[in-house]
Every structure is written in structure tokens, then in C-alpha cells.
Structure 1
């Protein structure tokens, strides 16, 4: 008779992490609205009702799923302190493009959800603001003067451009990552230079 290992009770935090991890995995190949709490609960080996013990509503679960995805994006675009001045912006943009290459379907799903769901739109807006702030810091570290509301607005708008172009460019397997990153970095430099005049 095969031995079965004793069932280990998870802490609430461990269970929440597990449920979010399952949702993030499912987001890799399907839009967020096709992820059912029933399928997540089944994969976790728990009842649907128990999932709602950790997330009071389905919307709460989806919102936390979006925040977890946003945290992954922020980690992917974090620039190591060892990156020398002059290369920080490029490193950040490269991290962003690589993230979208791996998680394009999930990212598109979030973008579509942001158009209709206020919670997802809030997460999307927060991530855009955080990325713009980091980019301004990277520009400063690279020796670029980036003061004033106009420059900040230009950098924030550039992220929207970068997002759209990266989503479009990564639609095919034969896109040229280095060319895309260089184009984005050059476009940012030109926009900031014009905004500073």
C-alpha cells in the first residue's frame, strides 16, 4: 500500500500566495476574465468557499492578482545599482521589453481590463506612475537634467508610447529586441531634450 504524506496546513499568507501564484500562471495563456475561481480553488486543492475566506469576493481576488502582476513588472524593470551611469535607462527599458516578451498575453489582458474595470485601471495607473518615477531617477543617474512638470508629463506619456510599441512589436517571434530597445531609448532622449527647451 503506497504511503501518503500527511496533509500540511498552510498559513493564511502561504495560502494567499499559492492562490495568487496559480492565478498568475493561468494568466500566461488566457485573459484574466477566463480565470475562474473554481479552477483556481481546484488546482489549490481547496473548495471555492475556502478561496473566499482568503479573498472576500471574486473582484478582490482579481484585484490582488493584478497587483501581483504589477509587482512582477516592477521587479523586472528594477535597475541594479551596479549598472553604470549612462546605461540605466537602457537597462530599465530592456527589462520592460523582456517582461512583455514573456508575459505578453497577460499584459494585454490587464490592458483590456483597465479599459473597463476601475480597480484594474487604478493598478495600471499606479504602475505607470511608478515606472515614470523610476525612469526619471534613471535619467538623472545617467546625467540628464529632468526637472519640471512638463518633463515629467513627457516621460509619463512616453511610457504609454513604449507600452503600445512594445505590445505591437512583440506580437511576432522575429522582432528585434535590441532595435526596439534602442528606438525607445532614442525616442525618450529626443522627447526629453525637446521638453527641456
Structure 2
């Protein structure tokens, strides 16, 4: 086999692997790991079971490849549209996160809860997601990923709140996505303001005057307000 033939075979192999991951993402979006057998997966994919073993070694290897592909998409979505105003990018990041969790619920629960055996591989995926999102948030808020330790600590604290709030929301999706989105954006605003207090070199981006939460109320300005909002 010459170089051109090898390159073609490699491209076809990668395409087949990508197709299997895409099929798996659909299957596992709402179905737990234990509920699907390899025979079920092969039947849905229209391939021999041995082909899945060839590419992924095991059912667990296949599932982890699906999770890694999913979270890579999440970080890419969060980092998209770099030309948007910073406050808009932060809002888009939060919305992209929630939509990902909603559309990839099984994979999301695996990332947060450990899923298929809480081990070093799953932990590494979760750590990579957290790091990628924290850097994306810093880029959106400050225009740089270089931030002091206090800023990183605060953003990680906010992200931990995001993870568990999202899990609760997934179990009670009678709330429209816009509700947790706006709640988390408000919480992030307070986090960014607090970071500025501890690290003046990280000024909180100005609020977007055109943004309104779904409650119809404007974000609270600086300073105390009484019960009437005055």
C-alpha cells in the first residue's frame, strides 16, 4: 500500500470512528450506560459488534470517547464568537453550558458524578472541562486567560455551583432554560464584582445595558436597594 492509499485508509478509519461516536452520543444522550448493551449499540449503529471493539477496545472505552468528544464540543461552544462584547460572551457561555447539559444529559452526569466508575480517567475529563471553562470565562471577562490565583479560585467556586445547580435543573425541567441561565449570570456578576474587590487588576466588565433577565427586571445596580427596588 502506497502513501496515498494509507492516507485514504486512515481518513476512512477516522470517519468511521467519528460516525460511531456520533451514533453513541445520540444513544447515550438520555439513556444510562448500564441500560445499553454492546449488541444494542451495534444494532443502532448498523455495524458488527467487533468493529466497536476494534476502535474502542471495550464498552467503557467507547463511552469515555463519547464523553470526551462531547466535552470538547462544550468548551469550543463556550469559546465561540470572540468578536462579541465581553458581557454577551459570558451570557453565551452560560447558555451553551446549559444546552449541552440538557442535550447530553447522560454524558454530563458522568462528568459531574463520576458515572462509569469514578476513576482517574473520568476525573481527568472533568478537570479538563473545568480548566477550559475557567480560562474561557477569564478570556470573556478580562480579555486574557492570565489571572491571579484569587480570580481562578473564585471562578472555580462559581463553576462548582453551576454544576450542582445544573444537575438539579435537569431533574426539574419544568423551569425554562432561561431561568437557570439568568440566575447563573447574576451569580457570576456578583463573583466578578467580588474578584475585583480582592484583585483590582481584574476589573469586573460593565453590565450590558441591553440585557434583561427573563423576569423583566434589570440587573441590580451597585449600592443597596430597598424592598421596592428604589
The normalised TM-score by structure 1 is 0.81
Equivalence for 1:127: 129
Q: Which runs of 5+ in 1 are unaligned?
A: 1-8
Equivalence for 2:141: 139
Pair 27,77 (structure 1): closer, same or farther in 2 beyond 3 Å: same
Q: Is the 8 A contact 1:146 1:192 kept in 2?
A: no
Pair 177,52 (structure 1): closer, same or farther in 2 beyond 3 Å: closer
Based on CA coordinates, which of the two structures has the bigger radius of gyration? Answer: 2
Q: Is the 8 A contact 1:146 1:152 kept in 2?
A: no
Instruction: Tell me, in whole angstroms, the C-alpha distance in 1 between the residues paired with 2:30 and 2:150.
Output: 39
Q: Which runs of 5+ in 2 are unaligned?
A: 1-8, 199-230
Q: Give the helix-richer structure, 1 or 2.
A: 1
The normalised TM-score by structure 2 is 0.71
Aligned residues: 187
Instruction: Tell me, in whole angstroms, the C-alpha distance in 1 between the residues paired with 2:186 and 2:145.
Output: 16
Structure 1 range deviating more: 146-155 or 70-79: 70-79
Within 5 Å, give how 1:4-43 maps onto structure 2: 11-43=12-44
Within 5 Å, give how 1:3-82 maps onto structure 2: 11-82=12-83
Equivalence for 1:92: 93
Pair 15,163 (structure 1): closer, same or farther in 2 beyond 3 Å: same
1:192 is the counterpart of 2:192: yes
Relative contact order (C-alpha < 8 Å, sep 6+): which is higher? 1
